[in-house]
Amino acid sequence: MTCPSLTTIGQPIGKMATKAVDMLLKEIELKDQCVTENVRMEPELVIRESTSRCSV
């Protein structure tokens, strides 16, 4: 374990997996057609002990 715990970026793994399966099923359904789609998902900033306010 890292001390202090590090601030990270959380990825929406569940949404990413769901979208991947949806695209795969669409590809299977359309058989010979290629499915191309740009997908953007918002990451989440997970603030932990390694981040603090700046003192002015």
CB 50 within 8 A of CB 5: yes
Residue 49 has what DSSP assignment? T
Q: Give the model confidence (pLDDT) of 3-36 as tens digits.
A: 888 999 999 999 999 999 999 999 899 987 887 8
pTM of the model: 0.68
Burial status of residue 23 (CB atoms within 10 A of its CB: 0-12, 13-18, 19 or more): middle
pLDDT for the residue 44: 95
pLDDT for the residue 14: 96
Domain ranges of the chain: 1-56
Count of CB atoms situated within 10 Å of the CB of 12? 13
